[in-house]
Amino acid sequence: MKHICSEHGQTVLEVSLLIALLILLIVGSIPSLRQSVISVFIRTEGALSQELDEPFDSSPDSPRILWSDDLQNLNQWTILQGNWEATDGFIRNTSDREGRIMTNFSGEDFVVNIEVAHLLRGNGYGVWLRANNVSSDNHTQINGYTFQYDPGYLGGEFIIRKWENGQEQEPLARVSGEGYDWNDPHAIRVIVQGDTFTVFVDGEEKMTAQDSSYSSGYVGLRTWSDTRVEFSGFTVEALPEDI
């Protein structure tokens, strides 16, 4: 096969490989650009594998968006425990042990979307759903639910829990994550409708649970142990009409 050569004798394939390598080096050297690429990849992958009939539109102008934040500050959040920061489109915890932070959104039925959830280290994180008793003076008495991304539990599991007076109860549902790469970035989607909670990871349905104890409440994030995690593309969406 005849190869097309450049002026200096390099084939088109060699030039293409050099350009690709240069792009990878640039992306890898700029954290914000790297995270943007990760976000685009996960959103594309999730859209391709989305099991819901209606595609997810996370743009702030979408009529289905009930709450969104550009994550440049914590103006739409309330810190209950630990230290948190929001900059450059990411929210992250910056301290060990228990961390709790709530959005200022409260509702009954909704969909929580996190485009990128990236566990950097530690035993995991949780997403608060229908949380109550969340004032800074009463945060240890929270009622509600959490979806927990928990590599530290019995070899690694996805869990849905109920909370009563600040105490997490036995799991409502558990799914083993054996062999799962917990430290990769992932897209998280939780559908809260009536007494049913459905969790998707990267567009794939992972688990469901049912409980009717709490019908409404706040959405937020939880960390524990020495976890470090960052999130971007955090929105709350109205239920699709076809659910």
List the CATH number of the domain containing 162: 2.60.120.560
Residue 226 resides in a domain: yes
Residue 79 resides in a domain: yes
Residue 243 resides in a domain: no
Residue 48 resides in a domain: no
Enter the pTM of the model.
0.77
Residue 87 resides in a domain: yes
Please tell me the predicted confidence (pLDDT) of residue 14. 59
Residue 24 resides in a domain: no
Residue 150 resides in a domain: yes
Please tell me the predicted confidence (pLDDT) of residue 154. 93
* Token code pair at residue 235: 């929105």
Please tell me the predicted confidence (pLDDT) of residue 28. 53
Tally the domains of the chain.
Answer: 1
For the stretch 10-63, pLDDT in tens is 554 454 556 655 555 554 555 444 554 454 444 444 443 444 434 445 455 677
pLDDT top residue among 235 and 50: 235
The parent domain of residue 192 ranges over: 57-237
For the stretch 76-98, pLDDT in tens is 999 999 999 999 999 999 999 99
Mean pLDDT, rounded, of the chain: 84
Q: Any long-range contacts for 32-38 (C-beta under 8 Å, 24+ apart)?
A: 32/88, 35/89, 35/90, 35/116, 35/232, 38/116, 38/118, 38/185
Report the percentage of the chain scoring pLDDT > 70.
Answer: 74
For the stretch 170-195, pLDDT in tens is 999 999 998 899 999 999 999 999 99
- Smallest CA-to-CA distance from 98 within 71, 117, 120, 80 is with 80
